[in-house]
Amino acid sequence: MRTTTFIQAINEALKEEMRRDESVFLIGEDVGRYGGLFRVTRNLFEEFGEDRVIDTPISEQGFMGMATGAAIVGMRPIVELMYMDFFLVCADQIFNQAAKMHYMTGGLVNVPMVIRGQHGGGKRYGSQHSQCVESAFAQWPGIKVLAPSTPYDAKGLLVSAIRDNNPVVFIEHKMLYFTRGELPEAGEELIVPIGKADVKREGKDLTLVSFSYTLLEALEAAEELQAEYGIDVEVVDLRSIVPLDTETIYTSVEKTGRLLAVHESQSNCGIGSEIVARIYEEAPHLLKAPARRLGMAPASLPVSQKLEEELLPWKKNIKAAVLEMLQPVAA
């Protein structure tokens, strides 16, 4: 094992899949000669040429639609949205077209494509470049939604996404790009299956479910809670939002009896709401105390560092939420 950045892991997955399968190609704004705004696609233009690493004009609807069309006839396009917020510009092509094509053709057509890009706050990009987007995609049947938190999962899940025969939204996070983690040697095949959550920290007092960058904040919170209060939090990384691995969540709650779902996006109508609702419907007997959600308050992310910090439901808020749920244990 070696350690690499999150960016390097994604770049390797793209490169290795493009070498393996000629039908894989990249398309998006500045993905070619420049190597992507965040340098995720660097050096790929040089290796694969302009036919397979395509710089587009700023026309999200147009190139998302072209990728959909190419996928319908058997290519495996990977579309980069420079900021995930821009999915709204091409929403028809994603939601009405790519997502529904397999269903409304009675299965005659597949749309094997990946839509990838970074979302989230923490870098003061303001309201139109910081939104977390996973719950919007999760409402639409026909789209798989992935949001890894480590280089290992990022590489392995992206390989699975590229080989999947459906539209897969692969959500990166701008705060994750320069984080580092262990990764097998380049060229060594790494596959992380879609739809499997992963226990990133074992614990016995409470199950904390999260994903994407917030998962790292949750892990830090868990370490501090252990050191400061002796509270032992189990941290489950969803990795895959759709399909959702409730089995791993329930197995964990069976042990801890407590569930807290945390994400950066709004609490209201978020994935946390879904997880909490599901446990009450499917396995309420596992809970020793009410399950809870923690997410952002309903406001757009402001630019000011102080205001952004106020809004993001990160380590400080996570610790407070866990302490509230475990008052008796902490005391």
Partner 1 sequence: MPISVEADILSSRADTVIEPAVLSNETLTKMYRDMVLIRRVEESLLELAESGKIGGAMHTAIGHEGTAVGMAAALQPDDYLTCTYRGHHHSLARGMDPKRAIAEVLGKADGFAKGKGGSMHFLDPSLGLMGANGIVGAQVPHAAGMALASKIRGEGRIAITFFGDGALYQGVMHETFNMSQRWLLPIIFYCENNRYSEMTPIGRTSSVRDIYMFARAYGMHSLQIDANDVEVVYAAVTQAAERARAGDGPTFIEGITYRLAGHMAGDLETYRSPDEIEAQRAHEPLVVLQRRLLDRGADEKTLAEIRAEVEAEVAEAVEFAQNSPWPHPAETYTDVFAL
- DSSP letter string, 12-48: HHHHHHHHH-TTEEEEETT-SSS--TTSTTTTHHHHH
Nearer CB in complex with partner 1: 34/103: 103
Nearer CB in complex with partner 1: 6/86: 86
Residue 138 CB, nearest approach to partner 1 (Å): 14
Query: Residue 148 is which amino acid?
Result: P
Nearer CB in complex with partner 1: 52/119: 52
Nearer CB in complex with partner 1: 91/186: 91
Residue 158 CB, nearest approach to partner 1 (Å): 18
Q: Is 217 a catalytic residue?
A: no
Residue 230 CB, nearest approach to partner 1 (Å): 44
| Binding residues for partner 1 (CB under 8 A) | 25, 51-52, 56-57, 59, 61-75, 77, 92-93, 96-97, 101-112, 141-142, 144, 165-166
Task: Identify each DSSP E strand in the chain by its residue range.
Answer: 2-5, 24-28, 53-55, 76-80, 114-119, 144-146, 168-173, 180-183, 198-201, 206-210, 233-237, 240-242, 259-266, 292-296
Give the active site residue among 16, 60, 172, 264.
60
Residue 71 CB, nearest approach to partner 1 (Å): 7
Q: Is 129 a catalytic residue?
A: yes
Give the active site residue among 102, 119, 129, 263.
129
Instruction: Give the pairing type, strands 180-183 and 292-296.
Output: unpaired
Sign for the pseudo-dihedral over CA of 186, 187, 188, 193: positive
For 286, the 3-state DSSP assignment is helix
For 266, the 3-state DSSP assignment is strand
Catalytic site positions: 60, 129
